[in-house]
Amino acid sequence: MGKEIPAEKSLNLIRGRLCHPSFIFRPLSASSDSNYSKLKFIVSTSIMEGCNNSILLLGPRGSGKAAVLDLVVGDLLEQFPDSVSVIRLNGLLHSDDNCAFKEIARQLCMEHHLLFSKMASFDENSHFIIAMLRECGLAHKTIIFVLDEFDMFAQGKQRLLYSLLDAMQSVTSQAVVIGISSRLDADQLLEKRVRSRFSHRKILFLPPSRDELDGLLEHLLSLPADSSFPSGYVSRFNDKIKNITSDRRFKDILKTFFNAHSTVNSFLKFIFCAVSLMNLESGLLSLENFKAALSSMQRQPKLEAVRDCSVLELYLLVCMRRLEVKEQSSYNFISVMKEYKAIHDSFQTSDYYAQNVCIRGFEHLRERQVICYAENRGQSQTGEYRPMKLLISASELHQGMRSHACCPAILLKLLDH
């Protein structure tokens, strides 16, 4: 393929950075009191002194816990090449004890070039793991267990946690258990016997400050001045970025964004959307890209659903709303039909359709999750008699109808009464 145009190359580069977590979190972890340094200190001390340890990393989803941990693990693997091995487990996949032990055994086998048998039973796997722990301890090798989605492991009988933490109590084993969870009370979920063996070290991941994020933005979007780009292009691109970030409107955009989203991951998604809208001919970002990205992240799905409704479906929604206003606590299809007929009789609307047509309108509304059945247990009744409820509020309905392409004026009048 011929030469790529520089716009495409820069797009590839920036998007590659956005999808690569360690690039993003390294500058955030540069200071000495960051979570990265704390974690690294704890783990490296336990490796060097040959003792056991357990830590929990807590923070909302998308705040970079796994990314920072990967950075730490990567650095430690470079620092102590032969004395560290890593076992990774995920609570979504391995919450079942059988699965978890099989996975640990499989990863241990892969590390140490042993043959793994898929037919091994649970007991065999657990004996194998304990034996490996002892051997590694005698060889002064530390095993780091990374337990992602830690709260999923704390469901049920917590056998895996107990056996791991129990094995660490024996003198010969050297292991560090690092749990990652987005539930801030993950350690409260542990059983008494597990909690007693757990050292209550917790590292909290808080949302980054505005300065850190500004620095991150610049770090992400500035192109390196190496030879693969045409030289004038790099300087033009970086100047444009500087112009945008110092613009007051851009700061307003960022402020609106941070009112709703506080984690690093959502910020990265925002930058991703903005960068994807880059004009490929000029190869430069502009303020409009960021504005468009912000509006695409501020979706209102119920509003979109109402705007997608046909006129008949709007009638049905208005009838349901009127029944609610009349303080009828529960209503079903037949009562909505009665209200529909009453509206037609009093206002002589042109949109009066037969019952089978209205039932299909109801089904469409139900598929779009604008209405639903009020209770699940009335399965023995046909759909016409089951009580229903609205899933959107009155103001959303108002707003949706006002922005609808062809909503009849009478409906808005009926809604206000």
Partner 1 sequence: MPPKEESSKVTRRSTRSSASVTVENSEPTESHTPTIDDLTFGEESITIDAVLSNFPGRRSQIFDFIRLMGPLDCPTLPIMIYGGASTGKTSVVLQVLRHLNRPFVYSSCRTCYNPRILFESILNQLLLHRKCSLNGYSSAKRCDKPSDFVNLLREALSSVIKTLESTSGTSRSDKPDEKPMGKMVYLILDNVDLIRDWDKGTIILQFLFSLYTVLKMPQLGIILISGLPPDVYYSNMGYTDPIPLYFPEYSEEDLRQIFLRNQPNRKLYSAFLDVVLKPFCRVTRRVEELSTTFSLLFRKFCEPLDDLGISPNEDMKRRLYSHLKPLIAHCLNEIFRVSSHPHDGETRGERRQKASYSSENREELEILDFHMSTSAKFLLLSAFLASRNPATLDASMFDSTGGMDNRKRKRKASEKSMEKKEIAEQEAVMKGPGSFPLERLLAIFQCIASVGDSSFGEEDEEEENTTGYDKENNNLMSDILLQVSSLCDANFLIKSGSCPLEGSIRYRSMVSEDLAQKVAKSLSFPLSKYLYRR
Interacting positions 45-64 with partner 1 (CB under 8 A):
60-62
Should residue 103 be labelled a site residue for partner 1 when binding is judged by CB under 8 A?
yes
Should residue 210 be labelled a site residue for partner 1 when binding is judged by CB under 8 A?
no
Interacting residue with partner 1 among 50, 74, 230, 301 (CB under 8 A): 301
Interacting positions 137-166 with partner 1 (CB under 8 A): 148
The residue (of 15 and 201) whose beta carbon lies closer to partner 1 is: 15
Interacting positions 229-288 with partner 1 (CB under 8 A): 265-266, 269, 272-273, 276-277, 280
Should residue 130 be labelled a site residue for partner 1 when binding is judged by CB under 8 A?
no
Shortest Å, Cβ 99 to partner 1: 5
Interacting positions 325-354 with partner 1 (CB under 8 A): 328, 330-332, 334-335, 338, 351, 353-354
Size of the site for partner 1 (CB under 8 A): 74
Shortest Å, Cβ 1 to partner 1: 5
The residue (of 203 and 275) whose beta carbon lies closer to partner 1 is: 275
The residue (of 198 and 333) whose beta carbon lies closer to partner 1 is: 333
Range in contact with partner 1 (rule: CB under 8 A) among 29-37, 40-48, 129-137, 310-318 = 310-318
Interacting positions 7-26 with partner 1 (CB under 8 A): 8, 11-12, 15-16, 18-20
* HEC profile of the chain: CCCCCHHHHHHHHHHHHHCCHHHHHHHHCCCCCCHHHHHHHHHHHHHHHCCCEEEEEECCCCCCHHHHHHHHHHHHHHHCCCCEEEEEEEHHHHCCHHHHHHHHHHHHHHHCCCCCCCCCCHHHHHHHHHHHHHHHHHCCCEEEEEEECHHHHCCCCCHHHHHHHHHHHCCCCCEEEEEEECCCCHHHHCCHHHHHCCCCEEEECCCCCHHHHHHHHHHHHCCCCCCCCCHHHHHHHHHHHHHHHHCHHHHHHHHHHHHHCCCHHHHHHHHHHHHHCCCCCCCCCCHHHHHHHHHHHCCCHHHHHHHCCCHHHHHHHHHHHHHHHCCCCCECHHHHHHHHHHHHHHHCCCCCCCHHHHHHHHHHHHHCCCEEECCCCCCCCCCCCCCEEECCCHHHHHHHHHCCCCCCHHHHHHHHC
Interacting positions 177-206 with partner 1 (CB under 8 A): 182
Interacting residue with partner 1 among 28, 132, 305, 411 (CB under 8 A): 305
Interacting residue with partner 1 among 137, 283, 361, 400 (CB under 8 A): 361
The residue (of 245 and 335) whose beta carbon lies closer to partner 1 is: 335
The residue (of 251 and 338) whose beta carbon lies closer to partner 1 is: 338
